[in-house]
A = this chain, B = another copy of it.
Amino acid sequence: MSTASRSRFTRSIASAVLLALLIGAPAPAPAAAAPAPVAAPAASAPFTAAQLEAARSLRERCLVDDTGYETLRSLTREVGPRSAGSPGDARAVAWALAKLRELGLKNVHAEPVTVPHWIRGTCSVDVVAPWPQPLAAVALGGSVATPDAGIEAEIVPVTNLDELAKIDSTRIAGKIVFYTGRMARAADGSGYGRAVTVRGRGAAEAAKRGALGVIIRSVGTDRNRLAHTGGMRPEAGDIQIPALAISNPDADLLEDQLASGQPVRLRMRNTSSWADSARSANVVGEIPGRERPREVVVLGAHLDSWDLGQGAHDDGAGVAIMSAAAKLIGEAPQKPRRTVRVVLFANEEFGLSGARTYARDHGAEAEAANHVFGMESDLGAFAPVGLHARVPADRLPAVRAMQDLLAPLGVEYRGNDASGDADVGQIAALGVPVMDLDTDATEYFDYHHTANDTFDKVDPALVRRNVACYAVLAWLAADYAPGFGRMPKGR
C-alpha cells in the first residue's frame, strides 16, 4: 500500500481536511455525504435462498483451505522483493502468470505497463556532533543521491508540514530538516494518513525553504531499528533534495541529543539513482461467468513490493488472497453469472502506473460499463473487521445481505463511503461501484515498507478468513441479478 492516491486512511472527514490543510489541496467532499437514497429498497430480498446458500458453502470451504497461504509462501520464497522495474518485478510477472494458470484461472495474460525504475543504492546517516553515532536509515523511494562526500549540516527539528510552514525560512536554509512526528498506532490505521504527509511532501516543502536534505522519523508504529521506506509525492517544479527515513529508536536518539540544547549535526549519504523507464505488466486471470461473461467483477491487488522485505503483507497477501478467492470460486458447484477477474497490478508503490494503465486501456465507455464491481486487498493479511461500500443507495440492501454472511467472521458494516483503495480506486473513478474490506491494521504499520515484511509475519488462519470474505463478496456481486448500477465518475 502506498499513498500515491487518496486511500482509505484519508477517508474520514477529519483526516481528509487535515490532509488538505497540510498539503494545500482542496478538501475532498466526503462520499458519505453523497445524495440521499432516491429509491426505497426493493421489497423482495436481494438474493435468493439458493444464492445465499451457495455463498455460505463457499465461505466454509475457504475457511479450511490454505491455497492463499501457500500462494503467499510461493511468492515470498520464489520471488521475494519485486520493486517496479527490478529483476524481481520481471520474475514476479512470470510467477504470477504461472501461478494463476496453476490455480485454474482462465484467460491468464499480461498487459504491458511502463513503470519508473528507481534503484536504491546505499545510504548512511551519522551524528557528527555533539555525540557521534551511526543511525539506521533508508532512502525514501525516489530520493536523489547526495554528493559523494555526503551532506553535513545542522538539523532543524519540525513536527510536520504545518509547523514547517510557520518557521522562518532563514532557519531552514542550509540545514537538514528533521521531521519528528510519530505515527499513532490504531486499529483503523488512521495514524498513517496523518503521519505520511511528511513522507510525501516533506522533502519538497523543505527544499523550497533552502534545506539541503531531509530526515524523517519512519512512518511506522514499531520500535525496531528498521526504517520504513515509501514513495514521495513529487509535483512539477519540485526542487529535489535527498530524503531519508530513520527508525523510531534513532529518531528518539536524535530528539534526546537535541534535548541537551546543543546543536546536532548530521552527515547523510545516499547513492540511489533513476534508471530508464522499464517494462512491467498487470497480470490478469479470470473465472468466466456462466451467463454474462463479458461483465466483470474485479478483484485487485498489487504485484510489486518495496525492495527491503519480501512484500508479504504489502501486498503479497492481497495477491495470494485474491488469487485463492478466484480459485475457490472456480471450484464452486455453481459459477456466478458474471466473470470474476483477478488483476494483479504493476507498480502501485511508485505512482499507480499499473492501475492507471488498466483504467486507460479498459476505460472506453462500453468496456468500462462492463466493469460492474471492484474490490482490492491491500491492507495485509489481518483480521477483516469492517465493510464499506460505494454503491447507489438503493443497492444497500444487497450490501447488507452480503455483510450478513461475513458477520460470523467479525465483519461489521461501516457505511457507503468506500474508495476502492489505491489501484481499484482508478476503476472506481470510471463510475464502477466498489467495496473496501477493512482489516484490523493495529500491527500492519509495524512491518509496512520495511525489511520485516516477510512471510513469517503472516498468520494462515487470517489469510483463510480474508479469502473467505472476498470469495463470498465476489461470488454474490458477480451473481447479483440486478447488478450494482453506476456511481458518479471521478474520485
> When A226-B225, A451-B225, A455-B252 are in contact, do A257 and B133 touch as well, CB less than 8 Å?
no
> When A77-B256, A249-B456 are in contact, do A451 and B136 touch as well, CB less than 8 Å?
yes
Residues in chain B near residue A257, CB distance under 8 A:
77
Query: CA separation between A118 and B359, bound complex, in Å?
Result: 57
Query: CA separation between A256 and B76, bound complex, in Å?
Result: 10
Q: Does A457 contact B (CB under 8 A)?
A: yes
Q: Does A53 contact B (CB under 8 A)?
A: no
Q: Which of A130, A133, A248 has the most CB of B within 10 A?
A: A133
Residues in chain B near residue A450, CB distance under 8 A:
225
Q: Does A288 contact B (CB under 8 A)?
A: no
- Mark A73-86 against chain B: 1 for CB-CB distance below 8 A, else 0: 10011111100000
Residues in chain B near residue A252, CB distance under 8 A:
454-456
Q: Identify A80's interface contact among B77, B133, B451, B455, CB under 8 A.
A: B133
Q: How far does the Cβ of A311 sit from chain B's closest Cβ, in whole Å?
A: 12
Q: Does A253 contact B (CB under 8 A)?
A: yes
Closest to A79 in B: B131
Q: Does A309 contact B (CB under 8 A)?
A: yes
> When A81-B133, A133-B80, A133-B81 are in contact, do A224 and B226 touch as well, CB less than 8 Å?
yes
Q: Does A208 contact B (CB under 8 A)?
A: no
Q: Does A223 contact B (CB under 8 A)?
A: yes
Q: Identify A256's interface contact among B73, B133, B253, CB under 8 A.
A: B73
- Mark A248-270 against chain B: 1 for CB-CB distance below 8 A, else 0: 11001100110010000000000
Q: Does A134 contact B (CB under 8 A)?
A: yes
Say yes or no: A456 contacts B77, CB within 8 Å: no
Query: CA separation between A415 and B236, bound complex, in Å?
Result: 72
Q: Does A419 contact B (CB under 8 A)?
A: no
Q: Does A452 contact B (CB under 8 A)?
A: yes
Residues in chain B near residue A253, CB distance under 8 A:
76-77, 80, 310, 454-455
Closest to A135 in B: B80
Q: How large is the interface on A (under 10, 10 to 19, 20 to 34, 35 or more residues)?
A: 20 to 34
Query: CA separation between A95 and B132, bound complex, in Å?
Result: 13
Interface residues of A in 54-112 (CB under 8 A from B): 73, 76-81, 87
Q: How far does the Cβ of A281 sit from chain B's closest Cβ, in whole Å?
A: 20
Q: How far does the Cβ of A157 sit from chain B's closest Cβ, in whole Å?
A: 16
Question: What residues of chain A have their CB less than 8 Å away from a CB belonging to chain B?
Answer: 73, 76-81, 87, 130-134, 136, 223-226, 248-249, 252-253, 256-257, 260, 309-310, 450-452, 454-457
Q: How far does the Cβ of A259 sit from chain B's closest Cβ, in whole Å?
A: 9
Say yes or no: B134 contacts A225, CB within 8 Å: no
Residues in chain B near residue A454, CB distance under 8 A:
225, 249, 252-253
Residues in chain B near residue A248, CB distance under 8 A:
456
Q: How far does the Cβ of A12 sit from chain B's closest Cβ, in whole Å?
A: 30
Q: How far does the Cβ of A402 sit from chain B's closest Cβ, in whole Å?
A: 36
Known: A80-B253, A249-B455, A256-B455. 7 other contacts (CB 8 A): A80-B131, A80-B133, A81-B133, A81-B134, A223-B457, A224-B452, A252-B456
Of the A-B pairs whose beta carbons lie under 8 Å apart in the complex, a sample of 19, sorted by A's number, is A76-B253, A77-B131, A77-B253, A77-B257, A78-B130, A80-B134, A81-B134, A133-B310, A136-B451, A224-B226, A225-B450, A225-B452, A226-B226, A249-B454, A249-B456, A252-B454, A252-B456, A253-B454, A256-B455
Q: Which of A77, A133, A134, A253 has the most CB of B within 10 A?
A: A77
Which 7 pairs from chain A and chain B are nearest by CB?
A80-B133, A225-B451, A249-B454, A78-B131, A249-B456, A77-B256, A252-B456
Query: CA separation between A452 and B224, bound complex, in Å?
Result: 6
Closest to A133 in B: B80
Query: CA separation between A131 and B226, bound complex, in Å?
Result: 24
Query: CA separation between A73 and B452, bound complex, in Å?
Result: 27
Query: CA separation between A76 and B225, bound complex, in Å?
Result: 15
Query: CA separation between A161 and B79, bound complex, in Å?
Result: 32
Residues in chain B near residue A87, CB distance under 8 A:
132
Say yes or no: A224 contacts B224, CB within 8 Å: yes
Closest to A309 in B: B225
Query: CA separation between A134 and B308, bound complex, in Å?
Result: 9
Query: CA separation between A447 and B80, bound complex, in Å?
Result: 26
Residues in chain B near residue A133, CB distance under 8 A:
80-81, 310
Q: How far does the Cβ of A93 sit from chain B's closest Cβ, in whole Å?
A: 15
Q: Which of A87, A450, A456, A457 has the most CB of B within 10 A?
A: A456
Query: CA separation between A309 and B223, bound complex, in Å?
Result: 13
Closest to A456 in B: B249
